[in-house]
Structure 1
Amino acid sequence: MFDRAKQILIAGFCINLCIGILFTWSVFKKALVVNLGWSNAEASLPYTVAIITFSVTLLLAGILQDKFGPKRVLIAGTICSGLGLIASGYITSPTQLIFTFGILAGGGIGFSYACLSPAAMKWFHPSKRGLVNGLIAAGFGLAGVYLAPLLTSLIASYGINYSFNILGIALLCIATPLAFTITNPPANYVPVASTNKEEKKAVVAQAEMRWTDMLKTTQFYSIWIMYLCASSTGLMIIGNITSIAATQANMTDAAHLVVILALFNTSGRVFAGMLCDKIGGLKTLTLSFVLSIANMILFPHYTTHAGLILGMAVAGLCYGTLPAVFPSLAAGFYGLKNYGTNYGVVYTAWGVSGFIGPVIAAAAVDSTGTYELAYFYSATIMGVALVFSVLTKNPAAKTATNTQPEKNESLKVNATA
């Protein structure tokens, strides 16, 4: 069964490598503006709609996979993503691309992404939950590293329309067959326990919760606010990399900064997942938030190439912490039985942050001509997140004092989340 667990993990990682195309939209955007003569607003709107659709469908997919299992939902998601990309190659107007990429492909990505972590976590012992989440999420972040140069080459050779077609066909041929391999473990499956004494202490008794019960806990609102604040800061940097480089360091070509951020974003997901298993999710978030606040305070002083590399690396590392730790928090606080739905509700914070981050940056630049005010606002909201990370307590701690795990093994969850 452990070999089967590793197969699920590898397949999930590879599927995320295929569907992580949202990180490469800047390449498409540039081609739409330069090659097709679209305005920046027209070229940005499909991406904005895709983020919204991604967030909404992730919640819907979480509900469906809790009920029907991950395989069918995941297959539908990869097919929808591939067809959406292929259809994007035949568009003739911004409105059409909003539908084909923003809604069809964006929805398919949400359906696919929602199924991978829940399925993988059920195959592994709770003491490995952070690492599993980190590795699965790393595939999504790593996609930008190879897709950005690949798409640049494809667009230069075949044009943007054929590039959409090629990407869609490749996704269908690679991700869809892998989707058939993703399943939940058998009902009587018990993950292999760790031999590490500290990791064994990570397991305590806690009842599974539905989303309606989750909303009655104060911890949910703490998690939601922390996710909102941290994501807003990360997306503010990610969405303005090239503009920040041009404004602060007079860099006209900052494409390599995108790759650097993507690499550290990926590394952050794996490292944070491992750290989460060792010291707990809340402590991991606290360390990440402190580092992010320091980075935002220092960002106005990154006026050289080396300084911007450092700033982008730290920003990527901190942002990468989020998709590794927050799924573990949701699973550890509220169980795995209804995890798809529960995490879908938590993930709405990321969808809202997609508005806040760009608004912070736009307001700062429009009013002052620089990003310094955006850094100040980001440091402030990260301070709010830091307070919540320190004050939030794991509900498992209280539950464990009133529960006898030896009488109900099915109630075990990861307290280190």
Structure 2
Amino acid sequence: MSHATSQTHATATQTTPHRLLYFFVAFVLLMFFGLIYAWSLFVDPLEAEFGWDRSATSVVFTLSIITFCAGMLVAGALEERTSPRTVMLITAACLGLGLIASAFTESLPFIYATYGVLVGAGVGLGTDVVMSVTLKWFPDKQGLASGAMLMGFGGGTMLLSPVVTTMLGALGWRMTFGALGAVFVVLVGAGAFIMKLPTPEYVRPLLEKARQNATVAAVDMTGSQMVRTPTFWVFMVYLMLVTCGGLALISQAVPAAMELLMGAGAGAGASGAAAAGAGVSAALPEAEALMLATAAMGSVSAMNGLGRLINGFIWDKFGYRVCLTWIAVAFAAGMLCCAFAMMGGNFPLLVAGFMLLGLMYGGNMCSMSAMVGTFFGPKYYGINYAIATCQMIPAAIVGPQILALSQMGSGSYLGAFWVFFAVAIAALAVSFFIKPPKAA
């Protein structure tokens, strides 16, 4: 272990309550990192100012997810060669520079580079190091700890989106980007000097207990060993299918809700009577519609966070099989709700669909984290988790584009919701082929 890394270890005299400090710091940091999912708040202001179409702006989100995965891979390697503090300081620099530079956007390639690349990479770096360090304090509660922390990542959009929406209205999108950049520099920079690794003496009894209870793998696998197991690849297919639908919704949640609220798309013909019956006017002023659409996105974020916590509990209590089944079922049910809501102009039903999809996406992200620790051991968690997140790259490319192309081609998101319903059924089928790897 390097000298830099050894300096980041907590002392051997740490007692169990002290690990909650690192959990709390991780939760707050991940809550702010979750703002990467709030990209849809910036879509309409940017499209209005520059005349960009939905397909072009959805590329920003896709790029941010790709570089998010790349950032996690880099973090996993950097953490072993330097220290968590160094990785977090690099994170602060990427996020600050990316967000502040985004305020000066005048072209698509520019914001692709600033938000799509720098912000995405910064969130990936930060998420990996924060998760890796904190979970080493909780070898006995891998599912619950990862789920609770990731609840912050998913719930951050719900808690902070109203703040960002208010800032956009009061300051405009340029000043909002700049202000967020400054906040991230301060917050992540401070976190870099708080987060520490536990000592081997602290972890050893907790790890032995976890292995006795079979909540972590009996053998730690390196990244190269992990990718040679059939379990890893079958699980990756499952994750890609579910993530595809989750990222599609997250990237277009506000525009999709606006479509229904403004009476556009497939449900436009029926939206007058149906929406009135649902308690929502089909001819809402744009400002009111935007508030409701933002609230709908907030419901996705709330359930995203809650799904991570619930799934962490289920994983530890009932095992992976129950988790994977309910995630796929919620995926299918959520897409059905969204499709029928669009057909009937029913906003509450759309929100119900959003909530189910947020719940399943949060559960899926928690399953990915818990799978790495439970199936492949905690020792190489940082790099193994980063490798597993690479499933988000094809999902981020395909999912949002299906939704964007559906809207551009037919003027509605309805067709895409039916496509994703079929994807959910496929995910359910794949889940039955996932089994724990055989010990090496």
Q: Could you tell me the TM-score, scaled by structure 2's length?
A: 0.82
Which residue is 1:52 aligned to? 66
Residue 148 (structure 2) pairs with residue 106 (structure 1): no
Partner of 1:190: helix, strand, or coil?
Answer: helix
Please point out which of 76, 80, 88 is paired with 2:90: 76
Matched-pair identity in %:
28
Q: What amino acid sits opposite 1:322 in the alignment?
A: N
Kindly provide the CA deviation profile for residues 198-235 of structure 1, in whole angstroms up to 9, marking residues without a partner as x: 99633466221111111211001011101100001112
Please point out which of 298, 304, 327 is paired with 1:259: 298
Shift of residue 349, structure 1, vs aligned partner: 0.7
Number of equivalenced pairs: 396
Runs of 4+ in 1 over 6 A off after TM superposition: none
Please point out which of 61, 64, 84 is paired with 2:75: 61
Q: How do 1:380-399 and structure 2 match up within 5 A?
A: 380-395=422-437, 398-399=438-439
2:22 and 2:68 map into 1 onto residues whose CA distance is 23
Counterpart contact for 1:59–1:341, Cα < 8 Å: yes
Counterpart contact for 1:125–1:192, Cα < 8 Å: no
Shift of residue 345, structure 1, vs aligned partner: 1.4
Q: How do 1:182-197 and structure 2 match up within 5 A?
A: 182-190=195-203, 193=206
Partner of 1:181: helix, strand, or coil?
Answer: coil
Which residue is 1:405 aligned to? none
1:280 and 1:67 map into 2 onto residues whose CA distance is 34
Counterpart contact for 1:295–1:315, Cα < 8 Å: yes
2:70 and 2:219 map into 1 onto residues whose CA distance is 27
The structure-2 alpha-carbon separation of the partners of 1:301 and 1:53, relative to structure 1 and needing over 3 Å to count, comes to: same
Please point out which of 20, 23, 30 is paired with 2:34: 20
The structure-2 alpha-carbon separation of the partners of 1:161 and 1:360, relative to structure 1 and needing over 3 Å to count, comes to: closer
Counterpart contact for 2:58–2:400, Cα < 8 Å: no
The structure-2 alpha-carbon separation of the partners of 1:394 and 1:134, relative to structure 1 and needing over 3 Å to count, comes to: same
Which residue is 1:166 aligned to? 179
The structure-2 alpha-carbon separation of the partners of 1:260 and 1:69, relative to structure 1 and needing over 3 Å to count, comes to: same
Please point out which of 335, 352, 364 is paired with 1:310: 352
1:191 and 1:135 map into 2 onto residues whose CA distance is 23
Q: What amino acid sits opposite 2:183 in the alignment?
A: A
Residue 177 (structure 2) pairs with residue 135 (structure 1): no
Which residue is 1:181 aligned to? 194
The structure-2 alpha-carbon separation of the partners of 1:25 and 1:295, relative to structure 1 and needing over 3 Å to count, comes to: closer
Counterpart contact for 2:139–2:378, Cα < 8 Å: no
1:151 and 1:122 map into 2 onto residues whose CA distance is 33
Please point out which of 218, 235, 243 is paired with 1:223: 235
Please point out which of 145, 158, 163 is paired with 2:158: 145
1:41 and 1:382 map into 2 onto residues whose CA distance is 23
Partner of 2:201: helix, strand, or coil?
Answer: coil
Kindly provide the CA deviation profile for residues 282-329 of structure 1, in whole angstroms up to 9, marking residues without a partner as x: 321112112222333443222312211211111111111012111110
Q: Which runs of 5+ in 2 are unaligned?
A: 1-13, 272-281
Shift of residue 271, structure 1, vs aligned partner: 1.1
Q: What amino acid sits opposite 1:315 in the alignment?
A: L
Which of 164-173 and 41-50 deviates more?
41-50
Which residue is 1:123 aligned to? 137
Residue 332 (structure 2) pairs with residue 293 (structure 1): yes
Q: Could you tell me the TM-score, scaled by structure 1's length?
A: 0.87
RMSD: 2.6
Q: What amino acid sits opposite 2:222 in the alignment?
A: R
Q: Which runs of 5+ in 1 are unaligned?
A: 403-417
